[in-house]
Amino acid sequence: MSSAAPDRNEVEPLIETVELRTHFRTPRGIARAVDGVTLQIRRGQSLGVVGESGSGKTVLSRSIMGLLPRNGVIREGSVRYGGEEIGNRTPKQMRSIWGREMAMVFQDPMTSLNPVMKVGKQVTESLRLHLGMSSSEAMAVAEKIFRDVRIPEPTRRLNQYPHELSGGMRQRVMIAIALACGPNMLFADEPTTALDVTVQAQILDLLSEQIRDRNMSMLLVTHNLGVVAGYTDEIAVMYGGKVVERAPTKVLFSNVKMPYTEALLQSIPRMNQPSHSRLAMIPGRPPDLVNPPTGCRFAPRCAYARDVCVREEPPLVQAETPDHTFACHFPVGSAEYHERRVELNRASTTTAEVL
Amino acid sequence: MRYYVQRVALAILLLLAVSMLTFGALNVLGDPLFNILGPVAGDVNNPDSIKMIEVAKREFSLDRPLPVRYAIWLSDFVRGDFGVTFSSTGQPPVSGVISERLPRTVTLVAMAQFFAIFVSIPWALITASRAGKVSDRISTLNAFFLVAMPNFALAVILKYVFSIKLGWMPLTYVADDPLRSRLFQMILPALTIGLPVAAVYQRLLRTDIITTLQQDFILLARTKGLSRPRILLLHALRPSLFSFITVVGLNTGALIGGSIVSETVFRIPGIGSTLVESVLRNDFPVVLAIVMIVASSFVVINLLVDFAYTLIDPRVRR
Amino acid sequence: MSTTNNSAGNQDEVAKKKLGFGFWLCVTWLALMVFVALFTPLLPLKSPTSNFLDSSQGRPPYAPSWKHWFGTDKDARDVFSRTMHGARISLTVGFSAITAGFLIGGTIGVISGYFRGWIDRVSSFVFVVLLSFPSLVLAILLTSLIERSLLTVSLVLGLLSIAPVGRLARAATMQYADREFVLAARQIGAKDRHIIIKEILPNVAIPMSSLALLGMAVAVVAEGGLAFLGLSVEKGITWGGLIQLGSDASKTLEKAPWISFFPILMLFLTVLSLNFAGDRLRTYFDVKEMTL
């Protein structure tokens, strides 16, 4: 795309959330799974939402789509789709949007397909409902989509049950179901986590190719920064229900600000590293969403945290790089960060000597 | 295929065991001679009685050892010869009595099963989709009440309310009436048997549907924009039916047991009420034949249930 | 993510922890019934067999009144007294049957679940054979062949519970037979009998005992059914028999519904209490419905 940067910003976002909050009533108290998230996804763009399990990323995607159970859930803030407020709509009102405008690809193709229904029927269901097709028309369309998602022998596959297909094939079926009615917005919730490593890249390639061809937007949820690297335009890093850093993909990888993002980056397994080299694990546990820590929620696990981090919550601020925001008192590259880093290095070398 | 052969073989083995047990119980616990002749059998001082005993022993092969008698009876039984009834005058063949009365019981049990299934499925779907709400709780309590009501008591209550007080339903079954009115006369008896069973089905199915509704594929169905009734019917119901089918099969026994009571209360001359009458009259061949028919059909139904499983769940097909 | 199992799951979770008011209400009713059953002859009840003919009221049956709380039957016998006496046989048979069933079925189940092999195969087959009869049919068949006393009727109904109880005990035993503490006991050379009694039995007994009330409900209903058909204990008053007496002729049922409805009420409340209390206990001990 050759259009200039400011022009891009003027395009109205397809999806926009403002201070979206999603809380669950639990026996222990209120769990703030999503706690004030503001983000935009433009038409044809894809956003990667990255975080550990329990960071609220899955709840965020379901909350935007309005897919949460009605009991025990408190949802506040605004969700706009194509400029229209949909945050206050009931599931019944959302039905015309689901499947037709928005679709979701789930993590586990083993459990997400109905085991007792032929996959063809599972694909054609929404075609018949939303587009009013007859069953033979819908079957023809389904066959074409199966071809698009590279399912070999589509005619035969349509008549098979999920258990007769491999994991990768099932995930392709799931993508076909999502694409069936030609939605504008695709939510992909860890679409490759349950698959073999060899199949993962194929599925991601397929997804991004289809997104491009159909000019769709995508929200890709994953715990693995490596997954989003090649497949998204932007990345939002979530921690404890909040977005803590957000930047265009390339910018993020070249100019990390948040120590948490840095730690996530270090935990990506790399092909070019010898297999026995250690992955840096982030010590500690994700924060308790019922009683989140004061100040920066990552502070208790952060090697660079100082007193102020525990006291005051850092606001989201603009980085020097464009479209890049982060929430940290002492970001990567700051003087305090380097000071602590030197100390840490010294400490680790001395321990190594002692040992 | 091997699976089917194994299951059928097991069923045949079961039928043999069941027949031996029934035949053995009747011959060892009961006194067949007394059953045939009545008090005469004990009167060994009277020459007339002795003669009658001799004749009866020969006629019913009672002088032969038990296994031989069993073999004779079994070979007759599988050929449809159930012997003759003892107590009625003229000793009509048991097979005639059975063929006249069995269809009524089959109709009654089928009707009861039909009521139970088609009451419980919508009931379970509705309550499962509103799990935890007040209406669900009230219905759970109702189910408890129904399960706790023994069917003979339910029969008396239904008869009192609908036949005697309200007069909506006929009081008795008339064997000579046309088919339609006979079916109408069977509604109360069938409800007597079916309602408590429907409560059992509903409790089970409700739990299973709730479990299914928490599955990922239901969420996927929601993201397609399907309506709630559609999701319940098309996506949630079928995967929830596995244990339901087993229980429907197992409860056929309860239904047959219920038909005994129901036929007695509502005076339907089926094999259930005939069993009770014959037992009270010590009519040995009739009892044996009915118990065998009931147990065999029970075994066969369970076999069919196992096979139905393979139809519903494509994963166990081989 | 715990997004899906939120609404219904949590309420069930919370409900599990307490037995609740309903449970204690049921227990109270059952305790009352047990008291009545134990001390029937000592209670200040009218004689259940006397005829309280009252010329001023015309021909019996008499409707419920201060004199006869539950009314009288056709022979002017006091329905209240007869109903109280009925508790005795119904509960005794129910209790003895389930005790016999648990002793015999439980023993067979534990042994076959522990030793497996041919014992298990034989007993499993026997269970299947017993379950091939609809239970009421088997009960009718057996009771018709014997002298029907309190003991024999209890034994017959106990026999019916052998297969379901045995299967449960077997399944429960198999769950524990491979656990570490059993393997450890075996390794230090403990005898099988010792392991079964000391290690397995206590663990199997808890889930089984919470099912005892449910089993007793089944036995009480079964006894009622037999009595209703005239095939329970020959001498004595039973609820099933009372209900049968009051409903045998439609005329009686129409004119004097109290004769059968009061015993129905007692039977219903008792079975309901057994079921409800049993169900609460089972949830309380978190006993899964094992293979039946």
Q: What is the DSSP string of chain C?
A: --SSS-HHHHHHHHHHH--HHHHHHHHHHHHHHHHHHHHGGGS-PPPSS-----GGG-SSPPPP-SSSTT-B-TT--BHHHHHHHHHHHHHHHHHHHHHHHHHHHHHHHHHHHHH-HHHHHHHHHHHHHHHTS-HHHHHHHHHHHS---HHHHHHHHHHHHHHHHHHHHHHHHHHHHTSHHHHHHHHTT--HHHHIIIIIHHHHHHHHHHHHHHHHHHHHHHHHHHHHTT-S-SSS--HHHHHHHHHSSHHHHHH-THHHHHHHHHHHHHHHHHHHHHHHHHHHTT------
Tell me, yes or no, whether B214 lies in a domain: yes
Question: Among candidates B24, B34, B21, B18, which has minimal Cα distance to B283?
Answer: B34
Please name the member of B220, B225, B227 whose beta carbon is closest to the beta carbon of A112. Answer: B220
CA B314 to CA A114: how far, in whole Å? 11
User: Of the given ranges (A269-273, B214-218, B249-253, C130-134), which has the lowest mean pLDDT?
Assistant: A269-273
Residue B216 has pLDDT above 80, yes or no: yes
**A311 and A244, same domain (yes or no):** no
**B186 and B247, same domain (yes or no):** yes
Answer yes or no: do A115 and B217 touch at CB < 8 A: yes
**A227 and A348, same domain (yes or no):** no
Q: Residue A110: in which H helix or E strand, if any?
A: helix A109-112
Could you tell me if B22 lies within 8 Å of chain C, comparing CB atoms? yes
Answer yes or no: do B222 and A91 touch at CB < 8 A: yes
* Average pLDDT score over residue span C76-101: 87
Percent of chain B residues topping a pLDDT of 90: 19
Residue B39 is predicted with a pLDDT of: 64
Residue B42 is predicted with a pLDDT of: 65
**B170 and B230, same domain (yes or no):** yes
**B279 and B309, same domain (yes or no):** yes
pLDDT digits 0-9 by tens, A55-81: 889 999 999 999 888 778 899 999 999
Going from the C-alpha of B205 to that of each of A6, A328, B117, B303, the distances in angstroms are 59, 52, 10, 21
Residues of C with Cβ-Cβ distance to B160 under 8 angstroms: 247, 253-254, 257, 261
pLDDT digits 0-9 by tens, A92-138: 889 989 989 999 999 888 889 998 899 999 999 999 999 989 999 99
Tell me, yes or no, whether B84 lies in a domain: no
Residue B202 is predicted with a pLDDT of: 92
pLDDT digits 0-9 by tens, A272-301: 555 554 555 677 888 888 888 888 999 988
Tell me, yes or no, whether B62 lies in a domain: yes
**A86 and A220, same domain (yes or no):** yes
CA C33 to CA B84: how far, in whole Å? 47
Answer yes or no: do A95 and B227 touch at CB < 8 A: yes
Answer yes or no: do A112 and B216 touch at CB < 8 A: yes
Residue B90 is predicted with a pLDDT of: 58
Residue B236 is predicted with a pLDDT of: 92
Question: Among candidates A162, B160, B135, B56, which has minimal Cα distance to C249?
Answer: B160
Residue B283 has pLDDT above 70, yes or no: yes
Residues of C with Cβ-Cβ distance to B253 under 8 angstroms: 131, 133-135, 137
At residue C268 the predicted structure's pLDDT band, cuts being 50, 70 and 90, is very high
Tell me, yes or no, whether A286 lies in a domain: no
Tell me, yes or no, whether A316 lies in a domain: yes
Could you tell me if A34 lies within 8 Å of chain C, comparing CB atoms? no
ipTM > 0.90 for the complex = no
Tell me, yes or no, whether A141 lies in a domain: no
* Average pLDDT score over residue span C89-108: 91
* Average pLDDT score over residue span A222-239: 89
Shortest CA distance from A93: residue in chain B: B225
Tell me, yes or no, whether A81 lies in a domain: yes
Tell me, yes or no, whether A109 lies in a domain: no
Nearest-neighbour CA in chain B from C14: distance (Å):
12
Domains and their CATH numbers in chain C: 20-38+70-291 (1.10.3720.10)
Residue A173 has pLDDT above 90, yes or no: yes
Tell me, yes or no, whether A281 lies in a domain: no
**B254 and B228, same domain (yes or no):** yes
Tell me, yes or no, whether A250 lies in a domain: yes
**B69 and B187, same domain (yes or no):** no
Residue A40: CATH number of its domain: 3.40.50.300
Higher model confidence: residue C51 or residue B155? B155
Residue A269 is predicted with a pLDDT of: 67
CA A207 to CA A75: how far, in whole Å? 30
Residue A325 has pLDDT above 80, yes or no: yes
pLDDT digits 0-9 by tens, B77-100: 888 777 777 655 556 778 888 888
pLDDT digits 0-9 by tens, B94-152: 888 888 889 999 999 999 999 999 999 999 999 988 877 888 888 888 888 888 888 88
Whose structure tokens read 């075996």? C186
**B120 and B259, same domain (yes or no):** yes
**A249 and A304, same domain (yes or no):** no
At residue A3 the predicted structure's pLDDT band, cuts being 50, 70 and 90, is very low
Residues of A with Cβ-Cβ distance to C2 under 8 angstroms: 24, 26
Residue B318 has pLDDT above 60, yes or no: no
Instruction: Tell me the count of A-B CB pairs closer than 8 A.
Output: 77
At residue B184 the predicted structure's pLDDT band, cuts being 50, 70 and 90, is confident
Tell me, yes or no, whether B89 lies in a domain: no
Instruction: Report the number of distinct structural domains present in chain A.
Output: 2
At residue B299 the predicted structure's pLDDT band, cuts being 50, 70 and 90, is confident
Nearest-neighbour CA in chain A from B297: distance (Å):
30
Instruction: Report the number of distinct structural domains present in chain B.
Output: 2
**B302 and B156, same domain (yes or no):** yes
| Cα distance from N-terminal residue to C-terminal residue, chain A | 55
**A250 and A303, same domain (yes or no):** no
- What average pLDDT does chain C have? 81
To probe the interface with C, which of B137, B160, B215, B271 has the most C CB atoms within 10 Å?
Answer: B160
Chain B, window 295-314: residues with a beta carbon less than 8 angstroms from a chain A beta carbon: 312-314
Residue B106 is predicted with a pLDDT of: 92
Residue C96 is predicted with a pLDDT of: 93
Could you tell me if B304 lies within 8 Å of chain C, comparing CB atoms? no
What domain range is B221 assigned to?
95-316
Could you tell me if C17 lies within 8 Å of chain A, comparing CB atoms? no
**B49 and B170, same domain (yes or no):** no
pLDDT digits 0-9 by tens, B197-209: 999 899 889 989 9
Q: Residue A20: in which H helix or E strand, if any?
A: strand A13-26
Whose structure tokens read 């034994």? C155
Tell me the residue type at C96. S
Nearest-neighbour CA in chain B from C208: distance (Å):
20
**A30 and A84, same domain (yes or no):** yes
What domain range is A57 assigned to?
12-101+211-254
Chain mean position to CA C251? 32
Residue A279 is predicted with a pLDDT of: 52
Three-class SS state of A17:
strand
Tell me, yes or no, whether A139 lies in a domain: no
